[in-house]
Amino acid sequence: MKVLITGAGGQLGRALQATAPSGAELSAIDVDDVDLTDEAMLTARLAVEAPEVLINAAAHTAVDKAEEEEELARAINSDAVRIMAGAMEQSGGKLVHVSTDFVFDGTSERPYRPDDERAPLSVYGRTKAQGEDHLRDSDLLVRTSWVYAAGGANFVRTMIRLMNERDELGIVADQVGSPTWATSLAQTIWGLIAKDASGTFHHSDDGKASWYDFALAIAEDAHAQGLIKRIPEIKPIATSDYPTPAARPAFSLLDCSKTRELLGDTPTPWRENLRAMLKEEKALG
């Protein structure tokens, strides 16, 4: 199986390469290889690569910055997906596209199902939803949430840095979701590809947390790993106390039962995967 991964240098791109099955003939490209906003360049590269499966792990993920870079966010999160889907239509290949919990508005009282109505609150969420709309019935869409990995730019590593710098932190406690280790997401994507799945699926690690809950867990487990010298005071704050350019969904848990039923596996609790990530982070020095 000839597979091309975009966003190769990102958290998920690296995890996909690290967990790839032995039968996958991998190629991986990143921003230094192809400008996703250049339609001619992207089209030409896809024609040369001619993958049977194209996994799009690239995205404009700077949620707040996207509010002032809507054109760029749309070019990467939507227009590039249209180009990829068109290329796969021509070659007969499958596009596997990764999207986000931010396509939902956070007003649900239960975890969001794959077929629930989308109502994004931000430019990031809107452009990701627009990207989803370019997929064909034969393609695979995987939505996820709160992704982090060792060595990446993410909440976990930001918290570790701040906990080593400050004696007190205020963390938002009224936004609820599920942290997701990039490695577990990558493993699920490969599992869905092996099943030749198409349509929309959700993946996040098991359980729920607010950003405050997540920060408390990071503090405890990072301290146990020696990644922070002492645990600072962590105070819960409201979203209104920490205004940001982009609105976030207050509730973005994803219903992953469809995914788990197809793969026949049991989801790993997010806290367990956090500890695994922190071990990797410590090994990086």
124 noted as active-site residue: yes
Query: Longest C-alpha distance within the chain, in Å?
Result: 57
Query: Tokens in use for 202?
Result: 């959700």
Query: In this structure, what DSSP letter does residue 241 have?
Result: G
Residues 77 and 131: beta-carbon distance below 8 Å: yes
Among residues 124, 148, 212, 242, the one annotated as catalytic is 124
* Three-state helix/strand/coil letters over the chain: CEEEEECCCCHHHHHHHHCCCCCCEEEEECCCCCCCCCHHHHHHHHHHHCCCEEEECCCCCCCCHHHHCHHHHHHHHHHHHHHHHHHHHHHCCEEEEEEEHHHCCCCCCCCECCCCCCCCCCHHHHHHHHHHCCCCCCCEEEEECCEECCCCCCHHHHHHHHHHHCCEEEEECCCEECCEEHHHHHHHHHHHHHCCCCEEEECCCECCEEHHHHHHHHHHHHHHCCCCCCCCEEEEECHHHCCCCCCCCCECCECCHHHHHHHCCCCCEHHHHHHHHHHHHHHHC
Burial of 138 (0-12, 13-18, 19+ CB in 10 A): middle
Report residue 49 CA to chain centroid gap: 24
Q: Which residues belong to the active site?
A: 124
